Structure 1
Amino acid sequence: MKSKITLFIAFLFCQISFSQTKDTIAANKLSEVVVTGQLGLQSIKKSVFNVRVISKEDIKQLAANNLSDVLNQYLNITIQNSGSDGRSTVSMFGLDSQYFKILIDNIPLVSDTGMGTNVDLTQINLDDVERIEIIEGSMGVTHGANAVSGVLNIITKKTVSKKWEISAAVQEETVGDEYAFFDKGRHIQSLKAAHKFNENWFVNVGVNHNDFAGFFDDKKGKDYNVNDGLRGYSWLPKEQFVGNALIGYQKNNFKFFYKFDYYGENVDYYNLILNPQDNYPFPETYYAKDKRFITNRFYNHLNSSGKLFSELNYNVSLSYQKQQRDLEKFNYQLETKAESNETRETYQSKEVLYSTGTLSNFFDTKKVDFQLGYEITNEKGYYNATAGLFFDGLQQLKNVDKELDNYDIFTVAEINLSDKFSVRPGIRYSFQSAFDNQYASSLGLRYIFKKGLETRASIGKSYRTPNFDELYTYFVDTNHNIQGNPELVPENSTSYEMSFKRDCLLNSGGQIANNIALTFLDVDDRIDMVLTQVTPSMSYKYVNINKYKMWNISTTEQYTYKNWNVKVGAALVGISQKLDLAALNITSDNKYLYSLQLNSSVSYNIPKWNTLFALYYKYNGQQQQFVAGTDENGKAKFYLNKIDPYSWMDASVRKSFFKNQLEVTAGARNLFDIQSVQLIQNGGTGGAHSSGGSDLLLGYGRSYFLKLTYNLNFN
């Protein structure tokens, strides 16, 4: 109710203010331009899609280390952290990261199990990011499989204004209340250099080192030699190395660039259990069977855009990516601090050859634009049997080495029926190597009413293809029977979206912006792991069985006046799921379960001091979901589990010195010192219904950071 009142007041205030405004806002403000889902570079006002933009300034103000730090403050997005492997993934509208596609310059980023999906946000460096564009809802026509809940496109820097642009940065950050120069906290160093050879050629390179020393919490670290289960870390130590380079050329209408990224990561796992070894005649010593997860990712992107036959606009990209995760096992001697008996093997790899291209501007008129496009994906996945998940029907270890291909064609038209009314139909057809051929379709509308009210509506059909785990997992022993299903079919979804947006400029110089969006998403044939057999053992299998429905209403209001910038937002999500236990013919309640999110930010700029203060707040309301359990008689039943609400707040101050050559950013993350929230379990297993609670890991508590950036630009 409060959010509705806020929205009403904002729109009313906007209406009044227009009567006081002499000039339109279009004459006073340059429109932002976006590329995601567009036929070309286009102003955000003319886009049929409702695009959210996270600017470079927003990223700088947060002193964000990775994409997780940025998205943590945005509506309809939930960050799911894991201290056991250090991964962070994104959930939108209650759907996990397999439904949300992450791209870099319109190229899906390779991950452990997918192409653009299930991406670890901590593995995305932000040093060369120009802006981030987010579109919610189905984007299957322009971005293919798995763009169900939305897409996020990271636009990297591809221009150089000065002959030389050099930037070096150092950032020190506590991890909770833990910090030391070497073995505690987070330590980041980066260096970037760009050179403009002439008006046509330029190059930029960068390196980044991010050393996260882990979070001890109640653990005692790797050298703790008491066998009481306190050895190791609550959050595993992680060291990341990033290198990137880009060479570009542009002349008249022709543009070309080649971009290379390297990402390396070491995650150290320290076993809680210590093994004694004889050291006669001295007291026995201990060693631990530890592990190191080593990731290497190579990203290559070749792009060319320009004119064909003096009329047609073309844009073609070719990308080769490879991500490989190795497992290194070794014995760690507690007394000597030495590693021995090392073995290393690749346990997971993904190799992808990808290409996409478009042709547009077929007609010599501004009334109609038409685009033809293609997408080719060749995806090779490898899983080593020793990872513990892959066995054959005879219980023998079996490596998984599979290939998935798709060849897509799509077409989109933009029809401007008038200056105010635009229609955008689109369709994609995908030729699949492992599944039945798929298609996606969409229809978008944009209408601008009087006094600048922008209205957008869209309907889109999309699909999600099963990942390698869902297709090929086969893990059977005396206690487990978990099987993938090569017969799975892609999920199908339909989304409906409508939004209203308005900007208005006051005579006082202030500006108010309002945005309200409504979304409905319907997913059929949803893939889930279900109980398929009770006797002689409990067996689980991935099957197409469940349904998922979601509706969302969200609103954001922004007020800018002189040196103040204030944003307030709210989102209410309702989720209905149908869950089945196939072997028992038991189905869950499919009633809608609701959750509320609120966010706000306040910034104040003091030009005289070259200083900007900012405060960010987000409230995540109670979340609910049905899970399988058993009653007091051991009979299977669904119970409603709840996750307690929690709030997240970040603050920062950024000051520039020496004509903006030196920037100092200081601040704090997670000011409310959140580490976990209560998961209220109303159903249990083990033969009887039980109620209780456990902790769901969210973070490592309040942390403080200091970042120094030195910029040197000259001709």
Structure 2
Amino acid sequence: MKINFTLFAAFVFCQISLAQQKDTIVSREKLSEVVVTGQIEPQSIKKSVFNVRVISKQDIKQLAANNLSDVLNQYLNITVQNSGSDGRSTVSMFGLDSQYFKILVDNIPLVSDTGMGTNVDLTQVNLDDVERIEIIEGSMGVTHGANAVTGILNIITKKGGANKWDISATIQEETVGNEYSLSDKGRHIQSLKVGHKFNDNWYVNIGGNHNDFKGFYDDKQGKDYIVNDNLRGYSWLPKEQWVGNAMLGYQKDNFKIFYKFDYYGENVDFYSPVLVPQDNYPFPETFFARDKRYLTNRFYHHLNANGKLFSKLNYNVSVSHQKQERDAELFDYQLETKKESNNNRFTYQSKEVFYSTGTLSNFFNNKKVDFQLGYEITNENGFYSGAAGTFLDNGLQSVDVRKRLENYDIFTVAEISLSDKLSIRPGLRYSIQNTFKDQYASSLGLRYLFKKGLEARASLGKSYRTPNFDELYTYFVDSNHNVQGNPNLVPENSTSYEVSFKRTCDLKSGGQIANNLAVTFLDVDDRIDLVLTQITPSKYKYININKYKMWNISTTEQYAYKNWNVKVGAALVGISQKLDLAELGITSDDKFLYSLQLNSSISYNVPKWNTLFALYYKYNGQQQQYATGTNEKGEAEFYLNKINPYSWMDASVRKSFFNNQFEVTLGARNLFNITNVQITQGSGASGGGTHAAGPQALMLGYGRSYFLKLTYNLNFN
């Protein structure tokens, strides 16, 4: 840990020393890029009270990213958690999982298996029609409601185009580790986008994407392997995805309206490693396997209108309807004939949501004061089929679970410029809940502009997280399991504090330096955990049980000179959790456990060749967390899980031909060839020996892979 602190101190010292080079820099007067997330009205990053991070379209192109999982691996304070067993990828921020981080598309939370905007599978978020991604760390409960505890990610999609016709077609081929073939190995992506501007008022965008991930074999032998030695199947399940989207928009003067439709379809195939013999005496014995596939269909509708009322008030209203269904299909697969039989398909999970949000602003004819009044309505209808085997009635028979979660919120935000340098932003939200007690969120933000380009920001936010469907209603009890939800759970409450300093300057040499330093503290009460509540027989239950504290200090330094662009960053996070299990008579240690992240990127543009070279690197330090279990004596205790450190590196080369009509991107992901990272279980918090289980492995990637992306752009008026 001393080495980690030394590295981190070096990065902080680098920022301070760069900011003090008064004789070599002059103030930068250029306007920053415009952001919309969390703002009363779209404005430059410099004017924003929030510390907004932007992932540009160029960053997405350089990484040849097809979905969010391809992008977020490289960013500080964000950890992508992959699961090869079900093909899902979710995001963790500040050590808290995806239940605390909200993902939106054009300010609309995206429906997921267990909520709205949370626990989103990153591989299901396609980036073909994305203009940019905006990330705000810290509590955003006032403007974005429940579960925006650690931050929000807002995907801004393209609206219209500069030309009468914009047509783009892409083919992308990737290896999966060292596995590739055109038929049954690798990753194969095709996409087509067409945009048409009828006139100055009307436009339409239509697109489609097909992503065929053939799975990762590793030491497995695929679906047609006929030896009964537990090697049939895949280490990462095959997954095929289809995406279709369309947008129709109209704008005239101060009025804009658009309708956006998205369809997402997915098939994930599971091939059982266990072969079932068939006695065909006197003929040779044959085998079949009891396989299954999971099928997902998601429909997304979004209607947005914004403009002016009475030639003064700014309004922005969105109405959204989303529906997601997950089906399971069980079948027998005959190994000799390669045919399926006894197919049984049923819907085991569905989520249908009506959502609407709207704001009114610009109440005063005063540039120094702005006031926003808003509402949010969420009506979420969830369904789980008892046939899925997850929800059981007292362990005796399967039942279907249907529940409706609703909230009706109002919120208000003011932005007051006390001077040209000082702005203050108070906010308050009140949420009427049908399942829980009514909740509220509050915030206070400050921004001060110093001389020579130094920007200072501070924020205080109180937010809440409501229990999700699984935490409330899971009842999985049989002879081998006892995992129960808890309808009596209450929402978690959190308080966050953040202070940040930012400076962007031009150098006399023609270069540019940008520095950003942020310190964050987060305190969560009544955090929900699945914990061991009974040793024999083992019983687990979701309970409001622990207290969670986190502090983080992070810094990024960016330097641009001529055709070079270099960025380095570091983040140190400390996490304290206290769990008190009265039923078992044990209490965890609440000391802070630390983890370090480093990242860097370097790119070089060769204008003569129309070529851009880029290299991305991220180091994830050791992570630690207490969990419940039993020791060698069968006694309950807390033990410390430790995830070993690992590094991630991606590289790419992008070249344009024929006046940027044709682009070729060649690159590699996961250059360090990471697959699994060891999890070790150390001594218990009580000091009573070590946990009986041995080391485990966390599946992170499928090794070093290479990609080739070809894009043809046709734009004309």
Short-chain TM bin = over 0.9
Letter in 2 for 1:277: Q
Contact 2:533 2:541 in 1 (8 A): yes
Q: For residue 396 of structure 1, report the CA deviation from its aligned partner.
A: 2.0
> Does residue 4 in structure 1 map to residue 9 in structure 2?
yes
Secondary structure at the residue paired with 2:14? helix
Relative distance call for 1:394 and 1:73 in structure 2 (3 A) is closer
Distance 2:205 2:90 in 1: 29
Corresponding residue of 2:555: 555
Residue identity matched to 1:522: D
Q: Give yes or no for contact 2:31–2:46 (8 Å, CA) kept in 1.
A: no
Quick one: which amino acid aligns to residue 704 of structure 2? R
Partner of 1:581: 581
**CA distance 1:272–1:144, change in 2 (3 Å):** same
Is 1:25 the equivalent of 2:40? Answer: no
Distance, in Å, in 2 between the alignment partners of 1:271 and 1:176 is 22
| Residue of structure 2 in register with 1:638 after alignment | 638
Q: Give, as a single letter, the amino acid of the residue that structure 2 aligns with 1:460.
A: G
Aligned to 1:597: 597
* Alignment correspondent of 2:438: 437
By how many angstroms is 1:688 displaced?
8.1
Q: Displacement of 1:691 after TM fit?
A: 6.0
Which whole-Å deviations, capped at 9, do the CAs of 1:107-164 have from their partners, x for residues lacking one?
0000000100000000000000000000000000000000000000000000211000
Report the equivalent of 2:357. 356
Once the two structures are TM-superposed, the CA of residue 40 in structure 1 deviates from its matched residue by 1.2
Residue deviations 1:329-366 (CA, integer Å, cap 9, x gap): 11111111111111100000000000000000000011
Once residues 38 and 527 of structure 2 are traced to their aligned partners in structure 1, the CA distance between those partners, rounded to angstroms, is 26
**Distance apart, 1:458 and its partner CA:** 0.3
Q: Is the aligned partner of 1:676 residue 2:676?
A: yes
Distance change >3 Å, CA 692–CA 278, structure 1 → 2: closer
Deviation at 1:683? 5.9
- With structure 2 as the length reference, what TM-score do the two structures score? 0.97
**Residue 177 (structure 1) aligned with residue 175 (structure 2):** no
Shift of 1:502: 0.3
Match runs of 1:273-422 below 5 Å: 273-393=274-394, 395-422=396-423
Do structure 1's residue 693 and structure 2's residue 701 form an aligned pair?
Answer: no
Per the TM alignment, residue 480 of structure 1 is displaced from its structure 2 partner at its CA by: 2.1
Task: State the SS of the aligned residue for 1:415.
Answer: strand
1:200-254 per-position Cα deviation (integer Å, ceiling 9, x unaligned): 0000000000000000000000000000000000000000000000000000100
* Higher mean displacement: 690-699 or 126-135: 690-699
- Give the % identical residues: 77
Give the deviation of 1:481 after TM superposition: 1.8
| SS in structure 2 at match of 1:386 | helix
Q: What amino acid is the match of 2:630?
A: T
Amino acid in the other structure paired with 1:420? K
Q: CA deviation at 1:539?
A: 2.1
Residue identity opposite 1:222 in structure 2: K
Report the AA paired with residue 463 of structure 1. Answer: Y
Structure 2: how far apart are the matches of 1:549 and 1:162? 51
- 1:183, distance to aligned residue in structure 2 (A): 0.5
Alignment correspondent of 2:707: 705
Q: Per the alignment, in what secondary structure is the counterpart of residue 353 of structure 1?
A: strand
Alignment of 1:60-79 (within 5 A): 60-79=61-80
Distance 1:37 1:521 in 2: 19
* 8 Å CA contact retained: 2:555, 2:570: yes
| Contact 1:683 1:690 (C-alpha < 8 Å) held by counterparts | no
Unaligned runs of 5+ in 2: 1-5
Amino acid across the alignment from 1:541: K
Q: In 1, are the aligned partners of 2:383 and 2:401 still within 8 Å (CA)?
A: yes
The secondary structure found in structure 2 opposite 1:580 is strand
CA distance in 2, matches of 1:160, 1:131: 15
SS at match of 2:397: coil
Determine the C-alpha separation between the residues in 1 that align with 2:167 and 2:151.
Answer: 35
Decide whether the 8 Å contact of 2:114 with 2:468 is kept in 1.
Answer: yes
Residues 87 and 121, structure 1, Cα contact 8 Å, conserved in 2 = yes
C-alpha separation in 1, matches of 2:666 and 2:178:
16
CA distance in 1, matches of 2:346, 2:38: 40
Cα distance in 2 for residues equivalent to 1:310 and 1:587 = 61
Residue 165 of structure 1 and its aligned partner are, at CA, apart by 0.3
Q: Distance between the aligned counterparts of 1:673 and 1:534, measured in 2?
A: 40
Match of 2:3 in 1: none
- 1:280 Cα deviation after fit: 3.9
Residue correspondence of structure 1 range 518-529 to structure 2 within 5 A: 518-529=519-530
Q: Over residues 41-73 of structure 1, what are the superposed CA-to-partner deviations in whole Å (9 max), with x where a residue is unaligned?
A: 111000000000000000000001210110000
The runs of at least 4 consecutive aligned structure 1 residues that moved more than 6 Å come to none
Q: Secondary structure of the residue that 2:176 maps to in structure 1?
A: coil
Shift of 1:528: 1.0
After superposition, residues 94-133 of structure 1 pair within 5 angstroms as 94-133=95-134
Residue of structure 1 in register with 2:614 after alignment: 614
- Normalising by structure 1, we get a TM-score of 0.98
- The one-letter amino acid paired with 1:713 is N
Code of the residue aligned with 1:639 in structure 2: it is: Y
C-alpha separation between the residues in 2 aligned to 1:167 and 1:531? 53
Structure-2 residue corresponding to 1:166: 167
Change (3 A) 1:21 1:577: closer
Provide the rounded CA distance (Å) in 2 between the counterparts of 1:664 and 1:561: 25
Give the structure 2 partner of residue 13 of structure 1: 18
For the structure 1 residues 671 and 409, does the alpha-carbon distance in structure 2 shift closer, same or farther, using more than 3 Å as the test?
same
The SS at the match of 2:16 is helix
Which deviates more from structure 2 when the two are superposed, residues 87-96 or residues 282-291? 282-291
Match of 2:392, SS state, is: coil
Q: 1:641 to 1:199 in 2, by over 3 A?
A: same
SS in 2 for 1:4: helix
Counterpart for residue 484 of structure 1: 485
Report deviation, 1:21. 4.6
In the TM superposition, residue 597 of structure 1 has moved relative to its aligned partner by 0.2
Contact 1:573 1:594 in 2 (8 A): yes
Aligned-pair CA distance for 1:394: 6.3
RMSD: 1.3
> 1 CA distance for matches of 2:509 and 2:170?
39
The one-letter amino acid paired with 1:141 is V
Aligned to 1:472: 473
**Mapped partners of 2:675, 2:589: distance in 1:** 32
State whether residues 642 and 679 of structure 2, in contact with CA within 8 Å, keep that contact through their aligned partners in structure 1. yes
Which runs of 5 or more structure 1 residues have no equivalent in the other structure? none
Deviation at 1:30, TM superposition (A): 3.4
- The one-letter amino acid paired with 2:708 is L
Which is further off, 49-58 or 382-391? Answer: 382-391
